């Protein structure tokens, strides 16, 4: 088993980080584009019945979900934030030594940590927080207004500063890669995708607005939350607010 830093996943993660110098060179893709959809011609086609079986509530949420970036001045409630975080990472069952959660995770290892940049949440101060999954509480890391730091770190995307709260997900690489080695990074990104989709559907269910965000200067976000970028590094985030 290679040491963490010798894994392809580690090398890939480090080599594809955005920073203010590499942004423009990394972005220039030399890859030719592909058609946006795939269609097989001259093969039998099967349509679905009009009344396809579905859960109406879920169908409604999936149909309505959009990335929304138009946040108002209004604050969201702590209770709603609690539901959003539970949707992402709430423990729903104990099975042996595993604490299974709302989102699936390769090998039940849960390498993703959730951090929050709170701007406008009723009942808690603006600042940076960490979600303690075991006890399901927020741990306050530092109080203060970090909205403009967040906007800067996210390539100047203004809606980040206007969000009521942003969730920032990091990966504790070793937690997964000690088992999966080179292949581990694949699973880490899949885990993050599951978590974010849970968030977005929960956001939609509360009538809130959310947007996934992966365009950021990795080390700027890492340093905001005191992460080394080696053992633990940010990989994904999402803004949440109330639509204007």
Ligand X SMILES: Cc1cc2nc3c(=O)[nH]c(=O)nc-3n(C[C@H](O)[C@H](O)[C@H](O)COP(=O)(O)O)c2cc1C
In the bound state with ligand X, the residue whose beta carbon lies nearer, of 98 and 155, is 155
Name the minimum Å distance from CB 59 to ligand X: 16
H helix and E strand count, the chain: 9, 10
In the bound state with ligand X, the residue whose beta carbon lies nearer, of 88 and 138, is 88
In the bound state with ligand X, the residue whose beta carbon lies nearer, of 138 and 191, is 191
The contact set with ligand X (CB under 6 A) reads: 66-67, 69, 157, 211-215
205 and 130 Cβ atoms separated by less than 8 Å: no
Name the minimum Å distance from CB 23 to ligand X: 13
Please tell me the distance from the alpha carbon of residue 181 to that of residue 125, in angstroms, as a whole number: 40
Take residue 229 and report the two structure tokens written for it: 């970028």
In the bound state with ligand X, the residue whose beta carbon lies nearer, of 119 and 157, is 157
Name the minimum Å distance from CB 234 to ligand X: 12
Bridge pairing between strands 98-101 and 112-118: unpaired
In the bound state with ligand X, the residue whose beta carbon lies nearer, of 22 and 67, is 67
**Which residues are 71's β-sheet partners?**
243
The number of residues in the chain equals: 244
Name the 3-class secondary structure at 239: strand
103-126 as b/e: b if 16+ CB within 10 A = bebbeebbbbbbbbbbbbbeebee
Burial label, 181 (beta-carbon count in 10 A; 0-12, 13-18, 19+): middle
In the bound state with ligand X, the residue whose beta carbon lies nearer, of 108 and 156, is 156
Name the minimum Å distance from CB 5 to ligand X: 25
Name the minimum Å distance from CB 61 to ligand X: 13
The residue with tokens 């603006």 is: 126
Name the minimum Å distance from CB 211 to ligand X: 5
């Amino acid at each position: 088993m290679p040491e963490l830093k010798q894994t392809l996943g580690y090398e890939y993660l480090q080599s594809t980080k955005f920073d203010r110098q590499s942004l423009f060179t990394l972005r220039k893709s030399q890859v030719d584009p592909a058609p946006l959809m795939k269609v097989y011609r001259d093969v039998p086609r099967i349509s679905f019945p009009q009344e396809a079986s579905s859960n109406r509530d879920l169908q409604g949420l999936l149909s309505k979900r959009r990335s929304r970036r138009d946040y108002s001045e209004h604050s969201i409630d702590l209770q709603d934030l609690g539901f959003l975080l539970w949707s992402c990472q709430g423990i729903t069952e104990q099975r042996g030594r595993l604490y299974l959660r709302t989102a699936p995770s390769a090998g039940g290892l849960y390498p993703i940590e959730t951090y929050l940049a709170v701007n406008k949440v009723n009942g808690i101060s603006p600042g940076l927080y960490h979600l303690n999954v075991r006890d399901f509480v927020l741990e306050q890391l530092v109080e203060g207004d970090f909205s403009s730091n967040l906007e800067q770190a996210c390539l100047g995307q203004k809606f980040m500063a206007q969000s009521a709260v942003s969730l920032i997900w990091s990966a504790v690489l070793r937690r997964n890669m000690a088992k999966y080695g080179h292949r581990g990074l694949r699973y880490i990104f899949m885990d993050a995708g599951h978590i974010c989709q849970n968030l977005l559907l929960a956001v939609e269910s509360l009538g809130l607005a959310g947007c996934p965000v992966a365009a950021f200067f990795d080390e700027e976000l890492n340093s905001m939350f005191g992460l080394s970028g080696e053992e633990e590094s940010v990989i994904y985030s999402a803004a949440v607010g109330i639509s204007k």
